[in-house]
Amino acid sequence: MSKKILLGSILGAVILLGTCKNLSAQEVKKTKTGETKIINEQDAMNIALKNAPQWNTKKIELKRRGNSPVYEVELIKDEKEKDFRIDAVTGEILRYESDGERKNSIEDVDIDISFEEAVKIAMDASKTGEFRKVELESKKGTLYYEVKISDKAKMKEYKIDAKNGKILAIKVENR
């Protein structure tokens, strides 16, 4: 009987070790293959708009909270603002805030270039880097997107005309 118990214990240990070895191999494989896949800015915007239909997007920004990537999405309507924090991996809404009145908001604007198109224009011009932020701005009657792209050495900021997609200005800062 003690041989059966000993054999069962050994078999159990082998199965347990094999399972642990597979889990470790999966973890190593994940780190060897590179970065965690995240949703894009259009998906983050759609998640926020699904929860606030009839609102307009003002800003989308990719940030890190601890080790986790998150999108901060700001929506506006009738001088009011809603802010969403969305997990960039799962698409889950982590936080939602609704503010009262807001001054200097951009309302009922007629634009021809979407947030996604503005990001693509900036990414194409940048050639390297990762999306960080896009925000619709207005200055002296001109609507433009401010798109920030970062790489290891620089932060690039593009101002893109919201009507025609033309790059109005580029600012590059060393990091």
* pLDDT at site 7: 34
Strands 68-77 and 80-87: antiparallel
Closest CA to 74 of 93, 87, 52, 57: 57
43 three-state secondary structure: helix
Instruction: Give the end-to-end CA distance of the chain in Å, rounded to a whole number.
Output: 69
Regions in the chain scoring below 50 on pLDDT: 1-32, 102-104
- Please, how many CA atoms are within 13 Å of residue 45, restricted to the half-sphere of its CB? 19
Torsion from C-alpha of 4, 5, 7, 8, nearest 10 degrees: 110
> What is the rounded radius of gyration, in angstroms, for the C-alpha atoms of the chain?
23
Closest CA to 73 of 135, 138, 5, 12: 135
Query: Order of strands, edge to edge, in the sheet holding 130-139?
Result: 93-101, 80-87, 68-77, 56-65, 130-139, 142-150, 154-161, 167-174
Contacts of 111 (CB under 8 A, 6+ apart): 136, 143, 162, 163
* pLDDT at site 23: 28
* pLDDT at site 29: 26
* pLDDT at site 100: 60
* pLDDT at site 17: 35
* pLDDT at site 24: 29
CATH 2.60.40.10, domain 41-174, yes or no: no
User: Taking the CB of residue 6, how many other CB atoms lie within 10 A of it?
Assistant: 10
Q: For tokens 């041989």, name the residue.
A: 3
* pLDDT at site 9: 36
For the chain, give every domain's residue range: 1-34, 41-174
Enter the pTM of the model: 0.61
* pLDDT at site 73: 94
pLDDT tens digit sequence for 74-84: 998 887 889 99
